[in-house]
Amino acid sequence: MIRAEQLTKSYGGSLAVDDVNFHIGQGEIVGLLGHNGAGKTTVMKMLTGYLEPSAGKITIANLDIETEALAAQALIGYLPENLPIYPEMRVLDYLQYCAALHSVASEHLNERLRYALEKTELQERALSSIATLSRGYKQRVGVAQALLHHPKILILDEPTNGLDPHQTQQMRKLIVELAKHATIILSTHIMQEVDALCDRVLILEDGKLLVDQELEALKRVNSIQVTTSAQLQHFENAINNKPTQLSTAESGKHNIFEFGVDKHTDIDALCTSISETVIKSGEQLFALEQKRQDLDTVFRGINKKLEKAS
């Protein structure tokens, strides 16, 4: 659906985006992460055709964004971080204006307006001047214009910016619903948003793509934790390789063991072998799981590696 090949953008002698490659399939929700200045916004602007790459190629549904820009852009709904709204206009007038820009057919106009207003919960504010709206409601207007023309691709820069907790939850539900029919790129500084919504993560730093990985795989740690009444000797034969890391802690009758595994280990088979061995020994097994880390920890770990490398 979206393909970037050797995508590069320079301003004078400064590289904002440096030889970035990725492919995003239909129906994916992909989180685009990175510090301020990492190149996220520049990438999104190039994907929408707003900026021309200095080098490289972008295809949107097999359309070259350089030579078939209008056809490609018709498939895209875009919410920039700086909202594309006119404060002097009423909400409904503004959406009608956006519909005209997107060439929404007159016979579909009312249906598309109702859809956008309903999904962003703006029905009661349809006749309000945008200037009188709160930051959260203005954000909803920005989202409404992005989905108004039923795009196949949504590129959302900080979509929950300014929303209260209830509005944030509603926006998450909307994004999940939209992903049934659209591919979504979501840029945000809020890691909980990525955890709640994304299938995959792209992490940029200094214009380079450092990480392109499924979210679940990214959060896994190469470590197994066993909580049991058993001692290590009761199940160590179930482990193919001698543990490289092992710690124990007593919590009442519980012993907690942690040991490392390599990337080639069949985790399911290992856990099955350990559990069967412990139970056959007559001991109790309270928990057995592969350890996980949250996305904040992953992000900080990448930063530490970069600091050491520099």
85-137 pLDDT, tens digit per residue, is: 999 999 999 999 999 999 999 999 999 999 999 999 999 999 999 999 998 89
For residues 119 and 169, state if they share a domain.
Answer: no
| Residue 48 in this model has a pLDDT that exceeds 90 | yes
CA nearest to 129, candidates 112, 141, 115, 146: 141
Regarding whether 190 and 41 lie in a shared domain, the answer is yes
- Per DSSP, which regions of 122-219 are E strands? 153-157, 183-187, 200-205, 208-214
Q: pLDDT tens-digit profile of 190-221?
A: 888 888 899 899 999 889 999 999 988 888 77
Tell me, yes or no, whether 310 lies in a domain: no
Q: Looking at the structure, tell me whether residues 14 and 51 fall in a common domain.
A: yes
Query: 241 and 135 in one domain?
Result: no
pLDDT at 52: 93
Domain count, the chain: 3
Rounded to the nearest 5 degrees, what angle is found at the Cα of 52, between the Cα atoms of 299 and 73?
A: 90
Structure confidence at residue 297 (pLDDT): 76
| Domain contains 300 | no
Backbone angles phi, psi at 188, to 5 degrees: -160, 155
Other CB atoms within 10 A of residue 199 CB: 16
Range of the domain at 244: 221-295
Longest pairwise C-alpha distance within the chain: 75
Residues 184, 65 share a domain: yes
CB 38 within 8 A of CB 204: yes
List the helix and strand counts (H, then E) for the chain: 10, 14
Residues 266, 122 share a domain: no
Identify the H or E element spanning 303.
Answer: helix 295-309
From residue 243, alpha-carbon distances to 65, 188, 225, 227 in Å are 52, 39, 12, 16
